Structure 1
């Protein structure tokens, strides 16, 4: 299945060739491409990441996206043949986050009804581990492996608390997909200040509070808002357009799916 970001990326690559862009030329902004192709800016962001990995463009944070100096050498024989480096079917980071948002919100709701005291103790211990790891970082300028692992373990333990192995496996597969994704690593690699992770920790506290109260609706909404927060944060921190365009984010405000 060809993904939307791949289609848009191929069209941008074709325009680079057709319109005579040369290495070092600045491309239109994400916002302009989003309006031109009638897609969200996150699709364009993912298309740029694909083209960057293919050697066609260079993303300069705070400046924009430019035709890469190696673009002439990386240009395929057919401009429609632009493909992702292996794995060929990489999933865009924002598409992946949206899938997690839908699934993990429902899983948190189910977990709230079946969570055990042992689960609560384990989740509380993971939050303490995550908090300690974040406090040991240098002014939020580095993300320790311990903090990232505690974050993942927190989400997977909530899935386990649902007492449904299929849901647990589905959540685990999404996280494994994230870890394998070259597009995710490229997006995340542009972020230098991880101080925002402390606000994500507050989101985790809210989720845990709902689980303790066995509040299935609250747990659903807390998880939904948390992953929405993640999407907004990653989009803002990795913005490659001019600052004047930063206000147009992935969604207009916090969204919720039907509870």
Structure 2
């Protein structure tokens, strides 16, 4: 049994769909029912999140899903607007969503945070001099790309994959490799990044990588775990803040 809301979604029944898909489908049904017409603005993220008792990151993933389907348009500093009406009802749309294997970008980052922080701790006791040299090279190349304004994240990926390889455990290495493959192939991830127009955040991430490398060089498991956890936390928070499209002057609590 689940809790029914006026979004038309039972928030505690997340299978077989992902939670963001459930919420997105509920919003889609409200559009199809005529509650929101063409050109109408959807409620702000925080209002939806409070109503469903979920995080704003899950709501943002639901909005990204609707954006990819062409039902809404996200306008910076204004909000989310309906630009297309669904042709079918929930029952007809659900199977299409069930076939989607794409995970939400913030859900993916959370999984990486849990796994990569523990792997970094384990790798601190097993890392070789050669791997330290490779990590230093990748970090230097990240810095060069940042200074040149080059939009290339390959050395970022190699930095993380090398830390996983330093665990000397092929299963752990394969898991992180697969997570990064999912990230690179994810339409949800690409859509999230399309909203972000600034790359100043990369300076912070470069400093994070430096702290991780220093902990690995010192063979400090606790330091490596903490540095990796904080790094991915910084990534989550930065992406969330930079992709926020709600009107900053709107406060839904004033209208309750």
**Equivalent position of 2:88 in the other structure:** 77
Unaligned runs of 5+ in 2: 1-15, 252-256
The question of whether the paired residues in 1 share the 8 Å contact of 2:45 and 2:59 is answered with yes
For the pair 1:183 / 2:198, whether they are aligned, the reply is no
Pairs aligned (count): 235
CA distance in 1, matches of 2:154, 2:122: 23
2:119 corresponds to which of 95, 107, 124: 107
TM-score (norm 1): 0.87
Q: In the alignment, what sits opposite 1:121?
A: 133
Deviation digits for residues 69-88 of structure 1 (CA, Å, limit 9, x no counterpart): xx12xx13223444668972
Shift of 1:228: 0.3
CA distance in 2, matches of 1:232, 1:31: 16
Match of 2:110 among 92, 98, 118: 98
Per the alignment, in what secondary structure is the counterpart of residue 26 of structure 1? Answer: coil
Distance in 1, Cα, partners of 2:87 & 2:243: 28
Decide whether the 8 Å contact of 2:196 with 2:242 is kept in 1: yes
RMSD between superposed Cα atoms in Å: 1.7
Q: Which of the numbers 203, 206, 210 marks the counterpart of 1:201? A: 206
Output the CA distance in 2 between the equivalents of 1:122 and 1:81.
51
Judged with a 3 Å threshold, the aligned counterparts in structure 2 of structure 1 residues 240 and 111 are, in CA distance, closer, same or farther, namely same
3-state SS of paired residue (2:39): coil
After TM superposition, list the pairs within 5 Å mapping 1:1-259 onto structure 2.
1-68=16-83, 71-72=84-85, 75-82=86-93, 88-137=100-149, 143-145=150-152, 148-244=153-249
Contact 2:32 2:88 in 1 (8 A): no
- Aligned CA distance change for structure 1 residues 186 and 87 (closer, same or farther; 3 Å): farther
Q: Given the two structures, how large is their TM-score scaled by the length of structure 2?
A: 0.88
The CA distance in 2 between the partners of 1:241 and 1:30, in whole Å, is: 7
Work out the CA distance in 2 between the residues paired with 1:87 and 1:136.
41
Per-residue deviation, residues 49-98 of structure 1 (Å, max 9, x unmatched): 01111111111121100111xx12xx132234446689722100000000
Distance of aligned partners of 1:194 and 1:82 in 2 relative to their CA distance in 1, 3 Å threshold:
farther
